[in-house]
Amino acid sequence: MTDRNAALADPDRILKGFSALVTLTGIYPSGHPLVREKLREVHDGLQHHLKSQPSVELDVIRGVVHLNGIASDTRTDGYGLSIDSLHVHAGVRAEEIGTVADFLSRAKIDPQGEPVRAQLARRGVEHVSVGRLVPLDTRWRSRQWPDRPEQILDPDYEESLALAQHAFDQLSSDRVLDIRAVGDLVRLLMFRVVASHAALAQILTVKQYENLTYVHSVNVAVLSLLIGRQIGLDEETLPVLVEAAVLHDVGKTRIPLDLVKKPGALDKRERKMMEAHPVLGAELLMQVDGLRPATALVALEHHRTVLGGGYPDIGDGVIPHVLSQIVSVADIYEAVTGARSYQVPTPPERACLLLARLAGTKLNASLVKAFVSAISFFPIGSLVRTSREELGVVIRTNPHDPLHPVLQLVDEQVRCALGQVDTAIRSEDGAYDRHVVETVASAVSAPDIARFVSSAA
């Protein structure tokens, strides 16, 4: 490539040229030499790439120009363009680029209106698409949450979800993190939710509803807290851990929701964008006054491995802070036990096996051990439903089989005892007779349930 061609092919220069083309198109009549010259320059730049690849994808993500998903050294304020992405496919004609520039210079883009792609197609554009990154995820509200849990949630847990939702909501709409809501949430999680058997059971078992980021964040915070307590972190450090865990994934609010929720595997470019969330989150958190310094650090490091790999690349062998290591364990457990639009949740026992497999390479083995010993899936006193549709109160846990407790079966009103069953019993073929399939929140007060537990004892 000659120097001139290399300069033309520079992604930054193409975008800059395209921006100038949009401006010139808005000012001069069509066919003006200045417009023609700029159009030729942009088209030539694109053709250099299209000779060797089927498409050129130019994206500006947080001010960094990306060419086909790879970040360049160039930062930009967007060149005044109203778009963040310009994707051009082989076969593109110069007129199509001119049409897109004309469209952008004149059209008022209505996000609720006809899709831009359709509007461009009507104008004969087949090889160019433009896009705007949704700057923030605005679908946090549970009313818009189609798969929200139908079961009654523990009231403290529900309140914590509402607080988290509020904090994320405000971050989305006003770009301001409500530090008081975060403080209230941390206290609620530390003093109430973690002490509630029903809440813990609801967090530990599989979640059949779409696991949106704020729910995931609350759950990861509670699970991190269990690990932190198990390893004996002191009372000053625990709130630091919980705050960091609540906010570890806020960078995802800077990534288009469609990508965050995309079913199936991500391509290289999408993966790059998703993998930007730790850096985006850390940047965002560093700008918030009143947060502890560890919070941004954990957001940055929570996908780094205990051997110093993972992402983002902050230098080979850089070992994450212990608080980041704790959040990593909780994060993976929570992610795999939660439902995704494309993935059924992994049952708790399989999730624990997965953690064990990752221990030593990706995760800190001692922390995995601490997590598994800290959790009791069905604490004594939980009200649960079995695979045979029976309702029961957990009266004893089996230390070697924590997922199969001993139950006092009760009637639907939780008034009469109907006999005890040990769910760890297997039939001759080795299969369990019954499983606990869900934890049930009920209007029955704790003392009433305690009566079953104490009479069974």
Kindly state the smallest distance separating residue 72's Cβ from Fe ion, in Å: 25
The residue (of 299 and 394) whose beta carbon lies closer to Fe ion is: 299
Kindly state the smallest distance separating residue 299's Cβ from Fe ion, in Å: 8
Kindly state the smallest distance separating residue 303's Cβ from Fe ion, in Å: 6
Kindly state the smallest distance separating residue 279's Cβ from Fe ion, in Å: 11
What is the identity of the amino acid at 96?
E
Cβ proximity of 395 and 406 under 8 Å:
yes
Q: Give 304's strand partners.
A: 310
As to burial, measured by CB atoms within 10 angstroms (0-12 exposed, 13-18 middle, 19+ buried), residue 430 is exposed
Cβ proximity of 52 and 63 under 8 Å:
no
The residue (of 84 and 249) whose beta carbon lies closer to Fe ion is: 249
| 3-class SS of residue 31 | coil
- Using only the alpha carbons of the chain, give its radius of gyration: 27
The residue (of 260 and 393) whose beta carbon lies closer to Fe ion is: 260
Instruction: Using the structure block, give the residue that is written with the tokens 């104490």.
Output: 454
Cβ neighbours of 172 (radius 10 Å): 19
Kindly state the smallest distance separating residue 142's Cβ from Fe ion, in Å: 21
Kindly state the smallest distance separating residue 302's Cβ from Fe ion, in Å: 6
Alpha-carbon torsion (444, 448, 454, 456), positive or negative: negative
Residue least distant from Fe ion (Cβ): 249
The residue (of 243 and 249) whose beta carbon lies closer to Fe ion is: 249
The residue (of 57 and 249) whose beta carbon lies closer to Fe ion is: 249
Helix (H) or strand (E) holding 66: strand 64-67
DSSP single-letter state for residue 182? H
Kindly state the smallest distance separating residue 434's Cβ from Fe ion, in Å: 36
CA nearest neighbour of 101 among 8, 11, 28? 28
The residue (of 14 and 327) whose beta carbon lies closer to Fe ion is: 327
Kindly state the smallest distance separating residue 70's Cβ from Fe ion, in Å: 21
The residue (of 59 and 249) whose beta carbon lies closer to Fe ion is: 249
Kindly state the smallest distance separating residue 425's Cβ from Fe ion, in Å: 40
Cβ proximity of 38 and 98 under 8 Å:
no
The CA-atom distances, in angstroms, between 376 and each of 125, 321, 348 are 59, 26, 11
Cβ proximity of 421 and 407 under 8 Å:
yes
As to burial, measured by CB atoms within 10 angstroms (0-12 exposed, 13-18 middle, 19+ buried), residue 264 is exposed
CA nearest neighbour of 53 among 109, 110, 9? 9
Q: CA–CA separation, 437 vs 295, rounded Å?
A: 35
Kindly state the smallest distance separating residue 328's Cβ from Fe ion, in Å: 9
Kindly state the smallest distance separating residue 253's Cβ from Fe ion, in Å: 12
The residue (of 24 and 222) whose beta carbon lies closer to Fe ion is: 222
**Which residues here bind Fe ion, judged by CB under 5 A?**
249
Q: CA–CA separation, 396 vs 412, rounded Å?
A: 20
The residue (of 9 and 291) whose beta carbon lies closer to Fe ion is: 291
The residue (of 64 and 274) whose beta carbon lies closer to Fe ion is: 274
Q: Give 210's strand partners.
A: 339
CA 165 to chain centre: 14
> CB-based contacts of 39: which residues, under 8 Å, 6+ apart?
21, 94, 97, 98, 101
Q: CA–CA separation, 438 vs 204, rounded Å?
A: 11
Q: CA–CA separation, 219 vs 202, rounded Å?
A: 9
The residue (of 84 and 334) whose beta carbon lies closer to Fe ion is: 334
